[in-house]
Chains A and B, each alone.
Chain A
Amino acid sequence: MLWLWILIGVVALVALFAVVGYNRLVRLRNEVDTGWANIDVQLQRRADLIPNLVETVRAYAAHERGVFEEVTRARAALQQAGTPGTAADANEGLTIAIGRLFAVAEAYPELKASESFLQLHEDLTDTEDKISAARRYYNATVMRFNTAVQSIPWLLVASPLGFHAREFFSARGDTALPQVSFGY
């Protein structure tokens, strides 16, 4: 009889741990999803600024066609990117393309002084700051989720239950990954 009670106790305890642990994984996964949505909003905002920027520069420097095409291509790549890794790569590509566009703009003082160009420049800088802020949050949530999924005992059952380690938002060859991770 005693053994039966001990058995019931153990089963109940294991069940409790399983429920608490499972709920924690769900919560952490939701946080990762929220973190990704935050980045996505800012990436979209950045992509939305591009057509205006291209039009503004074109008004002063119509013959710099190569640069316009490059920026437009980079923007399309960003919009088609499906995973955090490819999105980070595409975002990096867009940064390089925009950098080239601004370098071109250097040669046109009237363009540089125009109201709409200054405004776009400010908006783009702001969006880049916000992408990096959103990235810090997202990567912290991914770090936390991955640590949970990859530690015992979840290491064995997380994958069958549908909890797969997530990808960081970082471009290939990017060294700005969280070296110090305070994620909590």
Chain B
Amino acid sequence: MIGLILLPLVWASLAFVLGPGRGKWLAIAGLSAQTWFAFDLAQQISAGKAAIGHQVGGWGAPLGIDLAADGLSSAMLLLTQCVALPLAIYASAYYKRDDAAGAYFWPLMGFLIAGLNALFVSADFFNIYVTLELVGLAAVGLVAAGGGAQQIAAALRYLFATLVGSGLYLLGVALLYGAYGTVSIESVSLLVTAEAPRMVWIAFGLMVLGLMLKTALFPFHYWLPPAHGGSPAPVSALLSALVVKASFYLMLRLWIGPFAPLVAAAPWLAWGPAALGTLAIFWGSWQAIRTPRLKMLIAYSTVAQLGYLFLIFPLLNGPGAIQAGVMQAFAHGLAKAAMFVAAGVFIKATGQDTVAGLAGAVNRLPITLFAFGLAGVTLMGLPPSAGFLAKWQLIEAALNQGHWWLVLVVLSGGLLAAVYVFRVLRQAFLLAPVDTPVLPFTPVPRTLEWTAFALALTSVLLGLRGVELMRLIQAVGAVA
């Protein structure tokens, strides 16, 4: 487990020492090993171990740093490595040797992955704060790497959002420590009861608020579209597929773990995230349908898809809700990475970032367009994709508990997704108008097209292997 944190730190530092633009082979080799570690960990956990712990450096809980992985964290680790590895291969072909935008891509990506992996296995509140900041700062660096005024402005906006988010979280940690004198998640879980002092309620509220800001839940989504839509394609894919999922994971973990007694005492609390998630689905889809720019469309689609993740909160008492959430995180992670890298191919080939510029793409870039379409299938939730499985689980859980309006939200969200996906496909299949000259398509490396295709195909085929993933996440239910 420790390898998942140390390895990216090592290759990121080496890549930094090697100098700008270097280190891609280190990164790919490191990520391959990490993927293997993640699979190994997942296998151990689904084989029956409920949770695996590790004490860093042999120091125990009060002094040292404890790591722990259960089904939920190992599923998120798996998602992170499985998305990052194809993205690294894609980025190695995307950035030219002396591309200024890619100068520090490899070290920053390594630190980002290390932060994410550490977040998923951290067992105390304060370590989680540190990993949140690591992830945030690395992500801001990646956004700023484009170097233009627009990217810098997006990076600054993102930086303030992420700093305020983790600031709120840290204040929550401070209050918790003041109340209980410990920051270990395990000990706090034992201490929190429904009659907890008001300070603990405030801490819970602050943490959830901070994490919603970092997950870009409507109405805190304002920073996401410029940051995700304005960066280079590999960066947008990393941010949209993985970074926003980290704070969602954390919120879910707090909700079902240490703060479960508070939620049980006030069940109406769960409707807050669900209502905001509903608004996010409609607002994000509406903006995606309207925007003229391709990457902005995909970024707004992220805002909408994140909404689904928050629909599960009122359903967490019943079975299947956690599975639906994690399956949606997987489906969206893989599909959105595929969409952003496909958009990167289109932009490289046509030289413009507009939906209208895609006219005639079907003849020139059939593989990429197919990848985009497959990813769209997942976002719409058509069978047999992972998105279908996630929505099916969500609908089933909602019907079991009699919340039929959630079903309406899920179904209409799928229809809206179809509108914006077909908006792109329609443009690509229409031939360019006869009176304007056909813009020349720059040839793009094959690797770019095929990695996009592989990611999209995985997002669809995961639906067929969903049972294994569900069983892995089952191990969470037992712990929480």
The answer to whether A and B interact is no
